[in-house]
């Protein structure tokens, strides 16, 4: 069963999500999927991952962060506000009657955001990152040249056939975000997934997140995979489902 859902972040912006359940009608653990920079809930491997998690017995909420997909918002998320939106998604899924416990996973900027969220939400039972950013300050600094600055001080980026708007806080917040400090505080089991051919966020960043985290932790390096895991969805999905089953279904 798959439903379109609406919930609000702390700024009262409407966030749009897709909530899907396994075929069984009883209680089940839940997973939140967070997309990356300028992404949306239906991009890349997210729908296929949702289906695989449903088949394994999980409820899944994948959602559009502010100013992405169909969600409200005049400017794109910073790292901080993406975590705020993720917190709202976690709270929404947690309130669903059938859901017993929660895990999170996220891609790229969303991967960093799930680490930041899990570092302050110790009720999360498992965390998976896909091509997560270990050094956001360096990442946003590299992106600055891709943006066009307007007279009012906002920035514009044309991507995926649409126009995205940003303000200066996107850059300053990137500098202030410290995922390595957050991952060191993580209490939940962590799986880091990264492609060996990622030319946007280097494999070394994934390795650094893994090395900094406490046990229990795992790393899956997918040979030949790029930043969005083109043609490598199967190993990503298989590893993710197995990890969540180990720490959330078999531990119940």
Among 63, 56, 62, residue whose Cα is nearest residue 22: 56
Flag whether 54 is in a domain. Answer: yes
Flag whether 18 is in a domain. Answer: yes
Q: 8: pLDDT confidence band, cut at 50, 70 and 90?
A: very high
Got the DSSP string for 141-173?
HHHGGGSEE-TTS-EEEEETTEEEEE-THHHHH
The whole-number pLDDT of residue 252 equals 58
> 33-73, pLDDT tens digit by residue?
999 999 999 999 999 999 999 999 999 999 999 999 999 99
Domain total of the chain: 1
Q: Listing from the earlier edge strand, what are the strands of the sheet with 148-149?
A: 148-149, 155-159, 162-166
Flag whether 188 is in a domain. Answer: yes
How many residues appear in the chain? 252
Got the DSSP string for 14-57?
EEEEEEE--SS-S-EEEEEEE--TT--TTSTTHHHHHHHHHHHT
Q: Which residue has the higher pLDDT, 251 or 80?
A: 80
The whole-number pLDDT of residue 234 equals 98
In the numeric block, the tokens 């997140």 are attached to: 209
Residue 200, token pair as written in the block: 């946007």
Stretch 155-181: mean pLDDT, rounded? 93
Mean model confidence pLDDT for the chain: 96
Flag whether 85 is in a domain. Answer: yes
Q: Which residue has the higher pLDDT, 76 or 244?
A: 244
As a whole number of angstroms, the distance between CA 205 and CA 131 comes to 8
Flag whether 115 is in a domain. Answer: yes
Strand pairing report for 217-222 and 190-195: parallel
Flag whether 149 is in a domain. Answer: no
> 118-147, pLDDT tens digit by residue?
999 889 999 999 999 999 999 998 888 889
Q: What is the CATH number of the domain that holds 183?
A: 3.40.50.1820
The pTM of the full predicted model, rounded to 2 decimals, is 0.96
> 10-23, pLDDT tens digit by residue?
999 999 999 999 99
Bond into 216 cis (ω within 30) = yes
Stretch 184-209: mean pLDDT, rounded? 98
Residue 1 has pLDDT above 90, yes or no: no
Flag whether 132 is in a domain. Answer: yes
Largest CA distance in the chain: 56
Give the domain range for residue 106: 2-136+177-249
């Amino acid at each position: 069963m798959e439903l379109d859902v609406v919930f609000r972040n702390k700024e009262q912006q409407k966030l749009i999500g897709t909530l899907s359940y396994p075929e069984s009608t009883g209680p089940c653990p839940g997973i939140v999927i967070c997309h990356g920079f300028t992404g949306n809930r239906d991009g890349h491997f997210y729908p296929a991952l949702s289906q695989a998690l449903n088949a394994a017995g999980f409820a899944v909420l994948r959602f559009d962060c502010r100013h992405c997909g169909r969600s409200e918002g005049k400017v794109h998320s910073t790292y901080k506000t993406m975590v705020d939106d993720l917190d709202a998604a976690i709270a929404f899924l947690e309130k669903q009657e059938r859901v017993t416990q929660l895990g999170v996973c996220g891609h790229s900027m969303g991967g960093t955001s799930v680490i930041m969220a899990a570092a302050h939400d110790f009720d999360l039972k498992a965390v998976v990152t896909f091509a997560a950013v270990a050094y956001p300050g360096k990442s946003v600094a590299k992106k600055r040249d891709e943006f066009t600055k307007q007279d009012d001080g906002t920035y514009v980026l044309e991507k995926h056939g649409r126009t995205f708007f940003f303000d200066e806080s996107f850059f300053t917040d990137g500098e202030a975000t410290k995922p390595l400090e957050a991952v060191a505080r993580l209490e939940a089991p962590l799986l880091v997934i990264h492609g060996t051919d990622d030319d946007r966020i280097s494999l070394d960043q994934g390795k650094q997140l893994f090395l900094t985290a406490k046990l229990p932790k795992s790393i899956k390096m997918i040979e030949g995979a790029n930043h969005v895991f083109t043609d490598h969805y199967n190993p990503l999905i298989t590893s993710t489902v197995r990890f969540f089953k180990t720490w959330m279904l078999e531990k119940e």
